[in-house]
Chain A
Amino acid sequence: MADLYQVENLRLSLADMTQRRAFGPATQVEILKGLSFTLPRGSVTGIVGGSGSGKSTLGRALVRLLAPSSGAIRFDGVDLAHMTEAQLRPLRRRFQMIFQDPMSSLNPRHRIATLIAEPLRLHRFDAIPARVARALDQVGLGSAYANRFPHELSGGQRQRVGIARAIALEPDFILADEIVSGLDVSSQAQVLNLLERLVAELGLTLAFISHDLSVIRRLCQRTLVLQHGRIVEDRPTADLFAAPEADYTRALLEAIPLPDPSQPWV
């Protein structure tokens, strides 16, 4: 099968946090309003949109941290959308997530080696120390970092640990949610170059969530643009940048401050 993910008419509602009722069930608000798309095996797809567009919710649905209200999420032919946690457990190793803020996603009391070993143990891998060493090596940290704590690392290095944790499980799919937005440009470039190389080497399928179209432009072959829980554009990245079709895509592009004072902001 050429597509790793086939998503059909995906809908997802969450409790509306802005309304509060004294009695009865919480008001639901629909975040994802019928999304359909595929992620081909080995592809790198960007998911962009402003805050509240549903991009992170979509990401969390893909790795089933959230349960959709209707629709299908077929992963390698199997529909994850309505599986129970017990049914999902054997599959979870295959789709991994790298979080935005490694400082809050990595337990500050654990050493780096333990942090990478933990998910391996959960998924009952053998030869864990060797796998941890290899993952550290793959992300360019090396064994010197194995015994350090997250706070001893720079933001870029912590994000490398996040990547190591994900790839150590030998997944098919990685979801990266705004993983470079807290980093300065030079570390951003290092982390993205690393991710790009690993995805190619390991033959991973990657979905990269970002609000930064400049980053998407460099990394992703294809881009989905989300607005208010709907896909407003789904095209090869080069085409999308050459001639954005949706007004919203154009607005997103025009809002990026290019490092060039001769181009005034409209």
Chain B
Amino acid sequence: MSYLSIRNLSLRLKKGPALLRRVSLEVAAGEVRGLVGESGAGKSMIGKAVLGILPPAVEITGGEIFLDGVDLLRLAPRERRRKIGATAALIPQDPLTALNPSHRIGPQITDRLVDILGWTRAKAEARAVELLAEVQIADPARVLRQYPHELSGGMRQRILIASAFAAEPRLIVADEPTTALDVTVQKQILRLIAGMQARHGTALLFVTHDLGVVSKVCQRLSVLYSGMVVEDATVADFFAAPKHPYSAALLAATPRYTDPSAGLNPVPEAVIAAVRAEVAAFDKAHHG
């Protein structure tokens, strides 16, 4: 049984267009699933729906989100928050805005453990030191007393990774965690996330627009277009031969420095027209 199982999840803007169209996907314990697509395809919305942090303007119009066998959408809000808080965590995109600039690092990691999970302050602090060491931060005790502005982007992202793993979640949603970083730091951070995920056996939902990153850290992926999953495949199968013309075009658009003639091919108009027609047909079939 998959740790996270999303079935036919549909979202829309209140009184507006659909954002997700019957999205189904599974993530097993210890597995990494990539969610890829262009901006606006709905990939971040899936992660937000799972963590119960959808913007107020978005409503769920159908479907189920099973976390650890429990359908989150059937729980009362309070119970749902407790279930998510105890079992899932987020690694956000932008390490600068995710950390409060006026608070020291320490409480930003430990407060959640103390206030929500009921740990003692001493236990939470010991855990924070242990985690910062695990994300390869030298002198964790000193860093816990520092403010976010005193640290580099890479350091801040390490802290958010440590913070995400703090309560030993069974599921982590990583929402474009390296977009704000340069390539050499990105590589360190991705290896760190992959290493921690493997050691802790966490299920990981990895939102990214970079197929290169997917090929390095994920075992499976879902390709989204306009809130619809157009392909669900293992990484090995997908990169050998993508099945959907849109996902094939997305792969062809990804630059490769090893081959100057490859990449930088925009998704052809005909492919866009075909996948839009698919979306339109879907809407027609499901809304009469």
Which A positions have Cβ atoms within 8 angstroms of B?
18, 50-51, 154-155, 183-190, 192-193, 211-215, 217-218, 238, 241, 251-262, 264-265
Closest chain-B Cβ to A244's Cβ sits at a distance in Å of 11
Min CB–CB distance B153 → chain A (angstroms):
7
Chain B residues 175-232 with CB under 8 Å of chain A are 181-187, 190-191, 209-216
B14 at interface by CB-CB < 8 Å: no
Q: How far is the CA of A117 from the CA of B211 in the complex (A)?
A: 39
CA distance A261 to B214 in the complex (A): 8
Measured CA separation A51–B253 after assembly (Å): 25
Given contacts A18-B150, A184-B209, A190-B266, whether A255 and B257 have CB atoms under 8 Å apart is no
Chain B, residue nearest A251 (CB): B184
Residues of B within 8 A of A50 (CB): 182-185
Q: Are B187 and A257 in contact (CB under 8 A)?
A: yes
A18: which B residues are within 8 A, CB to CB? Answer: 150
Give min CB distance, A258 to chain B, whole Å: 6
> Can you list 22 contacts pairing A with B, beta carbon distance less than 8 Å?
A50-B184, A154-B39, A155-B39, A183-B39, A185-B211, A185-B253, A185-B255, A189-B253, A217-B257, A218-B263, A218-B264, A241-B257, A251-B184, A256-B257, A257-B186, A257-B190, A257-B212, A257-B216, A259-B211, A259-B251, A259-B256, A265-B187
Cross-chain contact B255 with A217 (CB below 8 angstroms): yes
Instruction: Tell whether, in the assembled complex, residue A258 and residue B191 are in contact, meaning their CB atoms are under 8 Å apart.
Output: no
* B250 in contact (CB, < 8 A): yes
Residues A265 and B213 in contact, CB atoms below 8 Å apart: no
A258 to B253, CA, bound (A): 12
- Residues in B with CB closer than 8 Å to A184 are 38-39, 209
Contact call A188/B38, Cβ cutoff below 8 A? no
Closest to B194 in A: A265
Residue B137 lies at the interface, judged by CB distance under 8 Å to chain A: no
B52 nearest CB across to chain A (Å): 27
Assess whether B236 is interfacial by the CB under 8 Å rule: yes
Chain B hits for A256, CB < 8 A: 183, 212, 257
For the complex of A and B, the 7 pairs showing the least CB-CB separation, nearest first, are A257-B212, A214-B255, A255-B183, A185-B253, A255-B187, A184-B38, A189-B264
Q: Which of A184, A192, A253, A264 has the most CB of B within 10 A?
A: A184
- On chain A, the residues within 8 Å of B257 by CB distance are 213-214, 217, 241, 253, 256, 258
Please report the C-alpha to C-alpha distance between residue A256 and residue B216 in the assembled complex, in whole angstroms: 10
Residue from A211, A241, A253, A260 within 8 A of B182 (CB atoms): A211
CB distance from B46 to the nearest CB of A (A): 17
When the two chains form their complex, are residues B264 and A188 in contact, meaning their CB atoms are under 8 A apart?
Answer: yes
Whether the pair B183, A186 counts as a contact (CB closer than 8 A) is no
Q: A50-B183, A253-B257 are in contact. Are A259 and B215 (CB under 8 A)?
A: yes
